[in-house]
Amino acid sequence: MTAQLSFYVHIPYCVKRCGYCDFNTYTPSQLLDGGTLEAVSGDYIDAVLREVEIAKVSSPGSVPTIFFGGGTPSLLPANDLGRVITAIKSGWDVTEDCEITLEANPDSVDASKLMQFRGAGFNRVSFGMQSAVPHVLATLDRTHNPENVLRAVEGARAAGFSSVSVDLIYGTPGESLADWRTSVESALSLGVDHISAYALIVESGTKLANQIKRGELTMPDDDLMADMYLLVDQLAQEAGLSWYELSNWSKPGHDSRHNVAYWKNANWWGLGPGAHSHKDGVRWWNIKHPTAYKSALFAGTTVVAESETLTPEQLSDEAIMLQIRMREGIELSKLSADQILRIEPYSQSGHLDHQHWANGILQLTPTGRLIADRIVRELVV
């Protein structure tokens, strides 16, 4: 069987940095005093294409998924991103049903631009919706108008995207359960194929973390966070979107195959500054700063910042941590008698699905998903 290699392409540019974000992203003025997007990104794709050439030498195989994330990939011209898709298609056997995803801010696209992205080869789009409630978006420092999400989804459908997804965030300071219901129901009313819903994580050093530290904002308590998760799970299931991973729900045939590759610890190559890669038990990550990344590639030097070879124990532990998040769960036959003994009480307490347990599979129930980390700690000691 031909080896497979997915690609992640990092686009590190944003018009504005959101208050909760600690991703490896930059506004033009952070990279160049008074700089414009065109000035800082003009030669970026040329650099990425050089990394594609490096990957081509060392990693043959077929490509089942390509994912452009960021940052805000939709800020760049479609033909620039299309150059990367073309380079990958020329260097590898891209599968006929290759899933090619674009992350997009709803404000950064219109019907014409979405048509251009579709023409460049994208067939799946994921819009950063986050919330439908203005005061929640304001707290998150999101720039888009909630009404633009509907316009973006309609534009993606008209352009011929075969799969449309939206991302949501819950647990924003000041967000009530009613606010969250409004956001979830609004997302589902769009008729999307896929929803991701992530609990807000306050990262040290972000604007939001500093606001909380100063007492200007207060995080919701654990009980409200649990209610929010159970609500999105219930509403998504009722709308015909089934959970397939802890934070993801989809219509049949619309799972994010790229993300599934991560959760199954498959091989992927991360192109771009700060991007992580994994191949056959070896993990590496690139220089973080875009300017340093570009300079290294144009100078013909390595962009790899560090690497590690995973031990069999690390691979085993990671398989547990990742597989437990998924609907398929973990085969009990792959666990030791001691591990099964430690987690059996969770089957009795309703945190593990009884029917699957009887059939030799560890699968979390909705309440079990709320304590997934605790159950992992029982298995990985």
**Whole-number Å distance between alpha carbons of 347 and 362:** 9
**Residue 220, pLDDT score:** 83
Rounded to whole angstroms, how far apart are CA atoms 134 and 144? 10
Q: What is the DSSP letter of 94?
A: E
Chain segment 206-247, per-residue pLDDT in tens: 777 788 888 887 788 899 999 999 999 999 999 999 999 999
User: What is residue 20's predicted lDDT score, i.e. its pLDDT?
Assistant: 67
- Average predicted confidence (pLDDT) for the chain: 93
Burial of 315 (0-12, 13-18, 19+ CB in 10 A): exposed
Model-level pTM greater than 0.85?
yes
Classify residue 151 as exposed, middle or buried by CB count within 10 Å of its CB (0-12, 13-18, 19+): middle
Q: How far apart are CA 8 and CA 226, in angstroms?
A: 31
Distance between CA atoms of residues 181 and 332, nearest Å: 36
Per-residue pLDDT tens for 12-61?
A: 998 877 766 768 888 888 888 777 888 888 999 999 999 999 999 888 88
Domains of the chain: 6-263 (3.20.20.70), 331-379 (no CATH)
Which residues in the chain land under pLDDT 70?
A: 1-2, 19-20, 22, 143-144, 203
| Long-range contacts, stretch 346-352, CB < 8 angstroms, 24+ apart | 346/375, 346/378, 351/375
